[in-house]
Chains A and B, each alone.
Chain A
């Protein structure tokens, strides 16, 4: 999931006509001073990082004058939050908030529809509101064929207690956010808080998480993908992303490579059940080539914590002969002596086993036997 920073999300908000306070991304105290002077108003200065909880971490400051803004920016730019150095700030006009609202759009897996979430409890952790006072969250499922019509938006606005001009304004706001959610393939877009001001509504914050699978429609976002992973993933996980591997770092000493998320998870679970601890989860995905398999094997074996490796491949769209070639190539290239346990079944199984046998790598018939063997080789219980 591609998580855009607030200032990036707000560029898209503006594109879709969603009212936002005047603001600018800056990287120096001097730029913060200049922009505050240009606005001629008090401002709020917010750190721009791909992690949550910036308010609690002291990453938001208020300033009344250009000099105060420069000083606040100076302090914020030196900060480190959740191991990430603050390099970007968003300087925004401070608005007089009458009321704080929550508004979001996401996908409801069960109904297979987009869902609009709205609550008068803005500014709070919405998951907490959902857990403690679910009646304070309005949910509207959008029929994919009928779409979101103006009257649906008015129903939501009315349920939040608005009438007259404010009701129409908030209705239009919902329509625009939904248009953005669909247009930008958002897995989640939310505004918390959405500021009700004297004469309307403003997006005081902005979150826009884009579906990775949709990037072919949003080419301009592809280059932001790796940046957006910062803070969420470890160094090795970031390295894996650069290599286009689906990898999760864990704290054990047994390397695990499987194909398919379910099988790879089951392999981890089985190793754990038999007393071992996995160093990682690596899912080759569907249809891996021998080059990809070799890359994955090298990546896991080169982890110094890994004492032994278990490769568990069930050939469907992935071919066992390709898997075997990849393993053999990786071991040759690395010159690694670490034990490798392989279990192959399915498409081109016999060819794959023959390749491994020629190269002195033994195979086991079942996942459970393989797991038992690798736990023993890693010196576990």
Chain B
């Protein structure tokens, strides 16, 4: 079962002594995330933001109670860091790291699936339960506790739409960044299933982009009755040129598949309100809820 977070979730930050790890540990802590430990091999015994640093997760677990991990370690070391978290039965494991080789992501996802661990990312902004806890790098000020769940492959576009949701007077329940790589831990469908059963989520904003066909598969899932709550969507890349990679390794229109038009029409066909502008997603949800 997909596992997310709330204010009780106790988090370890892997790579806490790096610039990004340290900066975002501070912001997560300010938001209310319970961060009980940090791990950087070779830096055990130090402190970051008043949080004790350990050399390994095993060592951290002997002293602290921890449930979940967020990873900021550089790409060449991220697979081992994530496998260490999986082996230590932490769940979810959120991999913020950009630039992870696809081969490593394939192995990580397969090993996590064996243990039933939820992997979020790599190359993800993370996840947030608005008003309670965040395991991620999203700017806290755009979120307000509320009823809209958000799923996105992109990071910054996710903040953009979250800000519009807040602006129209709604708020967010749980929001998840899937990650921009071709292979990531979760798909839209995994999270739609979770949102369907989550009493705090009354409606969903789905944010897609060109490349692959996971938006089309989500549309089919909705059409087949797998998700029944109000849902609005935005798909980035209508102006993209086929064959050109638009930033994300996953964002490319190839051999006739993965275009924004294909995704938009599949979603509309499933009864999803698709906005032409990011602000229209929030307005559509306002009307639906």
Question: CA A109 – CA B188 in complex, angstroms?
Answer: 13
Q: Decide if B278 touches A266 in the complex (CB within 8 Å).
A: yes
CB-CB contacts of A297-317 with B at 8 A, as 1s and 0s?
Answer: 000000000000000011111
User: A107 near B: Cβ within 8 Å?
Assistant: yes
Q: Decide if A264 touches B110 in the complex (CB within 8 Å).
A: no
A343 (CB) vs chain B CBs: closest residue: B160
- A294 to chain B minimum Cβ distance, whole angstroms, is 19
Q: Decide if A211 touches B138 in the complex (CB within 8 Å).
A: no
Residues of A within 8 A of B289 (CB): none
A interface bracket (residues with beta carbon within 8 Å of B): 35 or more
Residues of A within 8 A of B146 (CB): none
Q: Decide if B239 touches A144 in the complex (CB within 8 Å).
A: no
The A-contacting residues of B in range 123-176, CB under 8 angstroms, are 125, 136-139, 141-142, 152-160, 163
User: A263 near B: Cβ within 8 Å?
Assistant: yes
User: A39 near B: Cβ within 8 Å?
Assistant: no
Residues of B within 8 A of A182 (CB): 103
Indicate whether A345 sits within 8 Å of B238 (C-beta atoms), given known contacts A260-B247, A265-B247.
Answer: no
CB-CB contacts of A350-374 with B at 8 A, as 1s and 0s?
Answer: 0000000000000000111000000
Indicate whether A281 sits within 8 Å of B246 (C-beta atoms), given known contacts A114-B106, A314-B139.
Answer: yes
Residues of B within 8 A of A145 (CB): 110-111, 114
Q: Decide if A345 touches B239 in the complex (CB within 8 Å).
A: no
Residues of A within 8 A of B213 (CB): 110
Question: CA A143 – CA B114 in complex, angstroms?
Answer: 12
- A363 to chain B minimum Cβ distance, whole angstroms, is 15
Q: Decide if A144 touches B106 in the complex (CB within 8 Å).
A: yes
- A7 to chain B minimum Cβ distance, whole angstroms, is 24
Residues of A within 8 A of B271 (CB): none
User: A213 near B: Cβ within 8 Å?
Assistant: yes
Q: Decide if A346 touches B142 in the complex (CB within 8 Å).
A: yes
Q: Decide if A262 touches B236 in the complex (CB within 8 Å).
A: yes
Question: CA A155 – CA B134 in complex, angstroms?
Answer: 48
User: B99 near A: Cβ within 8 Å?
Assistant: yes
Residues of B within 8 A of A110 (CB): 212-214, 217
Question: CA A113 – CA B183 in complex, angstroms?
Answer: 9
Residues of A within 8 A of B183 (CB): 107, 109, 112
Q: Decide if A265 touches B255 in the complex (CB within 8 Å).
A: no
- A147 to chain B minimum Cβ distance, whole angstroms, is 11
What is the size, in residues, of chain B's interface with A at 8 Å between Cβ atoms? Answer: 68
| Chain B binder among A17-25, A56-64, A196-204, A283-291 | A283-291
User: A93 near B: Cβ within 8 Å?
Assistant: no
CB-CB contacts of B180-192 with A at 8 A, as 1s and 0s?
Answer: 1011000000000
B162 (CB) vs chain A CBs: closest residue: A314
Q: How many A-B residue pairs have CB under 8 A?
A: 178
Q: Decide if A264 touches B247 in the complex (CB within 8 Å).
A: yes
* Chain A at the B interface: SS class: mixed
Question: CA A262 – CA B123 in complex, angstroms?
Answer: 13
- B58 to chain A minimum Cβ distance, whole angstroms, is 23
Question: CA A262 – CA B147 in complex, angstroms?
Answer: 24
Q: Decide if B110 touches A144 in the complex (CB within 8 Å).
A: yes
Q: Decide if B238 touches A285 in the complex (CB within 8 Å).
A: no
User: A316's contact among B100, B106, B114, B138, by CB below 8 Å, is which?
Assistant: B138
User: B276 near A: Cβ within 8 Å?
Assistant: yes
A113 (CB) vs chain B CBs: closest residue: B106
The B-contacting residues of A in range 96-122, CB under 8 angstroms, are 107, 109-110, 112-114
Question: CA A217 – CA B276 in complex, angstroms?
Answer: 42
Residues of B within 8 A of A367 (CB): 160, 278
Question: CA A262 – CA B246 in complex, angstroms?
Answer: 8
The listed residue with most A CB atoms (<10 A of its CB), out of B103, B138, B142, B209, is B103
User: A75 near B: Cβ within 8 Å?
Assistant: no
Q: Decide if A213 touches B101 in the complex (CB within 8 Å).
A: yes
Residues of B within 8 A of A216 (CB): 75-76
User: B239's contact among A107, A113, A143, A278, by CB below 8 Å, is which?
Assistant: A278
User: A163 near B: Cβ within 8 Å?
Assistant: no
A287 (CB) vs chain B CBs: closest residue: B20
User: B266 near A: Cβ within 8 Å?
Assistant: no
Indicate whether A265 sits within 8 Å of B141 (C-beta atoms), given known contacts A107-B182, A213-B75.
Answer: no
| Chain B binder among A28-36, A171-179, A269-277 | A269-277
Residues of B within 8 A of A262 (CB): 152-158, 180, 207, 209, 236, 247-248, 251
Residues of B within 8 A of A185 (CB): 101-103
User: B159's contact among A211, A212, A314, by CB below 8 Å, is which?
Assistant: A314
CB-CB contacts of A230-269 with B at 8 A, as 1s and 0s?
Answer: 0000000000000000101010000000111111111011
User: A127 near B: Cβ within 8 Å?
Assistant: yes
Residues of A within 8 A of B217 (CB): 110
User: B288 near A: Cβ within 8 Å?
Assistant: no
Q: Decide if A213 touches B100 in the complex (CB within 8 Å).
A: yes
User: A263's contact among B111, B154, B244, B250, by CB below 8 Å, is which?
Assistant: B154
User: A92 near B: Cβ within 8 Å?
Assistant: no
Q: Decide if A258 touches B277 in the complex (CB within 8 Å).
A: no
A270 (CB) vs chain B CBs: closest residue: B277
Residues of B within 8 A of A248 (CB): 241, 244-246
CB-CB contacts of B187-217 with A at 8 A, as 1s and 0s?
Answer: 0000000000000000000010110111001
A107 (CB) vs chain B CBs: closest residue: B102
User: B251's contact among A250, A265, A269, A368, by CB below 8 Å, is which?
Assistant: A265
User: B46 near A: Cβ within 8 Å?
Assistant: no
What are 30 A-B pairs at a CB distance below 8 A? A109-B182, A110-B212, A112-B105, A112-B109, A144-B106, A144-B111, A145-B111, A185-B101, A187-B102, A211-B101, A213-B99, A213-B101, A262-B152, A262-B248, A263-B155, A263-B156, A263-B157, A265-B210, A266-B160, A266-B278, A269-B260, A272-B238, A285-B98, A286-B98, A314-B159, A317-B24, A345-B163, A346-B142, A347-B139, A368-B277
Q: A266-B157, A317-B125 given. 19 additional CB < 8 A pairs?
A: A107-B182, A127-B255, A131-B256, A182-B103, A185-B101, A211-B102, A259-B156, A262-B152, A262-B158, A262-B247, A263-B154, A266-B160, A266-B234, A266-B278, A273-B276, A286-B98, A315-B139, A316-B125, A317-B24
